[in-house]
């Protein structure tokens, strides 16, 4: 059993210039946005939900990438609205956002 109900990992990897990476798509800003939003919603509590950054998740050509554990669901996103949908649908209600899955 997982310590958290759901745990989001945002790849925030920055590669050498010219190589694809999630941070070229603003991943660090999106990670911070998601973390702040979950905290503002009062959901960042022990045993509840957590938003972390990660190193390379190995899917650079499909980035930016966020993975939700323990559900093992991999997403891509374009903007805050996509991140909001992942938080609102998957984190809170356990519903996979099919249109964003990898």
Instruction: Give the rounded distance of the alpha carbon of 71 from its chain centre.
Output: 13
pTM of the model: 0.92
Average pLDDT over residues 53-75: 92
Query: Quick check: is 56 in a domain?
Result: yes
Report the CATH number at residue 26. 3.40.30.10
The three-state secondary structure class of 69 is strand
In this structure, what token pair is assigned to residue 34?
């998601």
Percentage of residues in the chain having pLDDT higher than 70: 99
pLDDT attached to residue 16: 78
DSSP summary character for residue 29: H
Domain that holds residue 27: 6-100
DSSP 70-89: TTTEEEE-SSHHHHHHIIII
What total number of domains does the chain contain?
1
Asked if pLDDT for residue 40 goes beyond 80, the answer is yes
Asked if pLDDT for residue 18 goes beyond 80, the answer is no
pLDDT attached to residue 23: 87
pLDDT attached to residue 38: 96
Query: Quick check: is 1 in a domain?
Result: no
């Amino acid at each position: 059993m997982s310590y958290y109900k759901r745990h989001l990992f945002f790849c925030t990897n920055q590669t050498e210039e010219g190589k694809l990476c999630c941070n070229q798509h603003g991943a660090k800003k999106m990670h911070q946005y998601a973390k702040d939003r979950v905290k503002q919603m009062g959901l960042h509590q022990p045993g509840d939900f957590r938003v972390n950054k990660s190193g390379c998740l190995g899917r650079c050509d499909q980035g930016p990438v966020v993975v939700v554990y323990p559900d093992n669901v991999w997403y891509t996103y374009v903007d805050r609205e996509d991140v909001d949908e992942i938080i609102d649908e998957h984190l809170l209600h356990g519903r996979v956002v099919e249109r964003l899955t990898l």
